[in-house]
Amino acid sequence: MVPTKGSSIMPATLVAPHAPTTVLVEDLEAMERAVALYASDMPTGYRLQGSEDSNLVGWIMQGVARLGREEIRQRASRLRGHRKLWLRGMTTAEIDRRHKVRFPSKRRLGIAESMASTTVFWISVAPAARVLPAVIDGPCPKCDGAGKVWGNWVIDDASGWYEEGYASCWVCQDGGAA
């Protein structure tokens, strides 16, 4: 595929397709679907074509074929990590820079995320696909990559009992809410 002037194809996807995979759309959670749509030939200004748009399924599969299953999962995990930090106002300039390298078009990413979340309504996510970690691309801005934070931890509100010490970082460790 050769990009033309004004083309909306993501530069990082101009690679040879990966080996055929047996991935089904059901095997991809919403962030993975968004990454696949971003990497596909889906027009940036695309609008939904009815309640069950078969074009989206084709583009999701095209994105998976372009990047490969593992790359889709890795980028989706980092996208989830960026969203987690962004929602809390905790992104750093370096984390934002790396995110922009992966997803240069904010508009295209927004449309890909919107279209991907729409597909979840008519193609549910398999239970095994729902476990996607939030990966922070760089050191955690809360614990600076240590994985733990110091604090006063309430044990019993009624008695005022608390403990002081380290606990797992609620931002970068698996126990944190996404």
pTM of this structure: 0.76
Q: What pLDDT was estimated at residue 61? A: 95
Q: Are 63 and 39 in contact (CB under 8 A)?
A: yes
Q: What pLDDT was estimated at residue 28? A: 95
Q: What pLDDT was estimated at residue 86? A: 94
Q: What pLDDT was estimated at residue 159? A: 83
Q: What pLDDT was estimated at residue 78? A: 95
72 vs 32, 50, 69, 160, 168, CA distance in Å?
6, 26, 5, 47, 28
Q: What pLDDT was estimated at residue 137? A: 86
Q: What pLDDT was estimated at residue 154? A: 81
Q: Which residue has the tokens 């748009």?
A: 53
User: What tokens does 38 get?
Assistant: 């971003």
State which residues of the chain have pLDDT below 70.
1-21, 174-178
